[in-house]
Structure 1
Amino acid sequence: MQIDRRSALLGTAAVAAAGLPSLSPAHAQSADNGITGVYRYKFGDGEIVQVFDGSRTFPMPDNFVANVAKDQAAAAYEALYMPKGQVTITFSPLVVKSGGKTIAIDTGNGLGAFAATKGAVGNMRANMAAAGIDPKSVDIVLISHFHGDHIGGLKNADGTPAFPNAEIKVPAAEWAFWTDEANQSKANAANKGNFANVKKTFDGLTPTQFEAGKEVAPGIVSVATPGHTPGHVSFILGAGSKQLAVQGDVTNHPGVFMRNPGWHLMFDNEAAVAEATRRKLYDMALADKMPVIGYHFPFPSAGYVEKDGTGYRLVQVHALT
C-alpha cells in the first residue's frame, strides 16, 4: 500500500483503520444456485454480499450528459448494446459481515418503489431474504449520500423502519446540506426536488452523523468523494495491502463515464468537482491495483480499473485478488 498517496485522499484515519480481514480470492464464490441478485465474496473471516436492487430503463433525457451533445451521449450507450435512445441504470447495495457486525451499505430504492415500478427496482429486501439475511440482524446501515435510490430502502412501504435494530450512519456534510432548505439555491435542476424526499425519508429516524476520513464500522473507513452531492462519501474496506473501494456514485455506468471521465452526469450537483473526484479515485485504484465495487456497475459489480486513452475502463471480475 502506498500510504502517502492514499493518505492524501483518505486522510490519516484510513491508514489507522484495522479490524477488517483482507480479501481472500481463494474463497471467492459465484452467484448462489437458483438465486438471481445475490453474489458473495469471502472476506477474510467475513463476507461481502452484493444484493441486486434492480434496474431501470428509460428514454435518455436531453441533458443526461450535461456537457455533451445528446447524440454523442446516446451513441455511447448504443455502443454498449442498449436500446437506441435508451439508458439502463442498475442498483447494487451491499451487505458486509465483518468484526461480528452485519453492515448494509446503502439501501436501494425501497419497497415503495418496488410497488410503483412493478418490481423493476426495490428488490434489495427480497434478495436479502434469498441470501438468508434478516433486516433485523443488520447492526449498522452506512449511507453514501441522500439520493432516493440509496436511502429509499431505509423505510418499509408503510413508513416503518426497514432496519429496526440498526444504527443508521450518514455523512455529516450530506446531512447539513439536504436538511437545510436554504441550500436549494445551491442545487442544480436535477437535485432541487430531493430536499422534500430527504425530509420524508428521515422523518422519525435518528441517524448518527460521521465525518469523512473516519472509521465508521469495523475496518470500514469513509472517504470524502464530493461532487455528485456535496457530502457524498465512498468507503474503503480492508486493511494493509488488500483493500477494496466501494465507490457509491463517483461514476454511473462505467462503460460511459469511466471511459469519459470528463462527461458530466445530470445528477452530479457540482460537475467539475465530481470529475476531479472521479479522476483522483481511479488514479489511486489504478496505481494500487485496488478493486472497486460500484453501485451502478453492471451486476455483479466488482472490477479493476485500467487506463484507457485519456480515461479509464473497468475490467469486471468474479474474484478479488
Structure 2
Amino acid sequence: MKVNRRTVLAGMGAAALAHGPLRAFALTSTQIGGYEFVSVSDGNLLLPRSFFFEGLPQEELAQVLAPFDLPQDQLAPPCNLTLLRNDDRVILFDAGAGPAFMPSAGSLSESLDAAGVAPEAVTDVVFTHGHPDHLWGVLDDFDDLVFPNARYHMGQVEWDYWRDPATVDTIGAARAAFAVGAARRLAAIPDRVAHFSDGDEVLPGIMAQASFGHTPGHMSFLLGSGSDAMMIGGDAIGNHHLAFARPGWASGSDQDPERGAETRQRLLDRLADEQIWLMGFHLPQGGLGRVERRGEGYRFVGAAR
C-alpha cells in the first residue's frame, strides 16, 4: 500500500481565528480494499493531562512518557476522520464534533472541501461510537443534517445505549452532557440508520469488529486483507503514547476502563502480529500507521515517516 501525503491550508473563519492561527489539514491517502482512503482532519481536542494520567503510578508514568515530550498543562490530540470512496460510494467514518463541542474542533467541512468532497456527496456515515467528537457533527448550527443524502450506520448495542433515556442518569455527571447531546442528534436520524453487530459486513468489504470498553458498543472496522488490511480503530486505541506503551493500564477516557484495557491489548496484539494498518482517530500524522512491539508494550509508527 503506497501512502501519499499532502498538506492543505484551510481558512477557519473569524471564530476559529480567535482561538489561534490557521490550521494545516494533512490529507494522507492510499488505495485499500477497492477504496481510495483519505484521512481528513476535524481539528483537535484540548484536554488536561489529568484526563489521561490521573490515578496512575506517577514514577513509572514519568519514565514511560519521557520519550514523547508531551506538554505539561494540556494535551491536544488530533481528530482524524476516515474517508473512503469509489465509483459508487463516499463513506465517512464518524461525523466529527460539529460546532457545539470545542472551539478547537469542528473543522471537518473545511477538510472535506480541501479533499474535494461536498457534504451532499457523502453516501454513508459509519459511526465507531457516540461520543461528541464522533457524533455531534451530524447537525449544523440550525439543527439541519450536515450530510443530507447519507445513510447512517451504527452498531445496535451503541445505538440502544445512547437512545436509552436512563443513560443520562447512569453515565456519570462528567458525561451527562454527552448522553443528552447524543440522544438529540440520534433523534434526527432514526429513519436513516442501519444497525449491525460484531462480524457483520456493514458495507461491501467493510467488516464490523466489536471493540467495547471505550463505550458500551464501540466498534472498529476492518477492510482489505493480508498486509494491505486496515483497521479503522476509532477510540479503541486512543493515543500514541500510554495506550501503546502500557495498554493494560486503565484509561480515564474509557467508560469501562477494565474492558477498554482488555480490548486495547487484544487489538494491539493482532495489529502487530498480522501487520494490519491502523487508522486511529486521535493518533498523530493523520492517524495512519503500523503497530510494532517494543519492550513491555508497543509503539505507533506513522505511515508518513
TM-score class, shorter-chain normalisation, is: 0.7 to 0.9
The TM-score, its normalising length taken from structure 2, stands at: 0.86
2:81 to 78, 81, 93: 93
State the shift of 1:301 in Å.
1.2
1:143 matched to 2:127: yes
Partners of 2:257 and 2:87 lie apart in 1 by 37
1:99-114 matches, within 5 Å, as: 100-113=88-101
State the shift of 1:312 in Å.
1.1
Q: Which amino acid aligns with 2:143?
A: G
8 Å Cα contact 2:243-2:264 kept in structure 1: no
Q: Which amino acid aligns with 2:211?
A: T
State the shift of 1:237 in Å.
1.4
Shift in CA distance, 271/59, structure 1 to aligned 2, threshold 3 Å? closer
State the shift of 1:59 in Å.
2.9
Instruction: Give CA deviations for 1:176-206 in whole Å, capped at 9, x if unaligned.
Output: 1121132456535543432111112223222
1:55 matched to 2:37: no
Instruction: Give CA deviations for 1:86-137 in whole Å, capped at 9, x if unaligned.
Output: 2222110111014621100011111334xx61xx211111010011001111
8 Å Cα contact 1:220-1:236 kept in structure 2: yes
1:45-194 matches, within 5 Å, as: 45-61=34-50, 64-65=52-53, 67-69=55-57, 73=61, 79-98=67-86, 100-113=88-101, 117=103, 120-184=104-168, 186-188=170-172, 190-194=174-178
Partners of 1:127 and 1:300 lie apart in 2 by 12
SS state at 1:208 partner = strand
Partners of 2:126 and 2:213 lie apart in 1 by 19
Q: Which amino acid aligns with 2:253?
A: F
1:192-203 matches, within 5 Å, as: 192-203=176-187
8 Å Cα contact 1:104-1:140 kept in structure 2: yes
Aligned-pair identity in percent equals: 27
Where do 4+ consecutive residues of structure 1 move more than 6 Å?
none
SS state at 2:270 partner = helix
- The aligned counterpart of 1:298 is 284
1:31 matched to 2:33: no
Shift in CA distance, 34/89, structure 1 to aligned 2, threshold 3 Å? closer
Q: Which amino acid aligns with 1:93?
A: L
Shift in CA distance, 112/57, structure 1 to aligned 2, threshold 3 Å? closer
Shift in CA distance, 188/309, structure 1 to aligned 2, threshold 3 Å? farther
Partners of 2:245 and 2:223 lie apart in 1 by 25
Partners of 1:31 and 1:160 lie apart in 2 by 32
Instruction: Give CA deviations for 1:209-244 in whole Å, capped at 9, x if unaligned.
Output: 211211111211111000000100001011355311
Partners of 1:99 and 1:273 lie apart in 2 by 39
Partners of 2:6 and 2:81 lie apart in 1 by 15
Structure 2 unmatched ranges of 5 or more: 11-23
Q: Which amino acid aligns with 2:113?
A: A
Moved more, 91-100 or 63-72: 63-72
Partners of 1:70 and 1:197 lie apart in 2 by 34
Q: Which amino acid aligns with 2:289?
A: G
1:237 to 215, 223, 232: 223
SS state at 2:229 partner = strand
8 Å Cα contact 2:33-2:224 kept in structure 1: no
8 Å Cα contact 2:226-2:276 kept in structure 1: no
1:197-216 matches, within 5 Å, as: 197-206=181-190, 207-216=193-202
Partners of 2:139 and 2:180 lie apart in 1 by 15
Partners of 2:35 and 2:157 lie apart in 1 by 30
Shift in CA distance, 164/313, structure 1 to aligned 2, threshold 3 Å? same
Partners of 2:235 and 2:147 lie apart in 1 by 23
Higher strand share: 2
State the shift of 1:70 in Å.
6.0
Shift in CA distance, 158/185, structure 1 to aligned 2, threshold 3 Å? closer
Aligned length, in residue pairs: 289
Ranked by relative contact order (alpha carbons within 8 Å, sequence separation 6 or more), the top structure is: 1
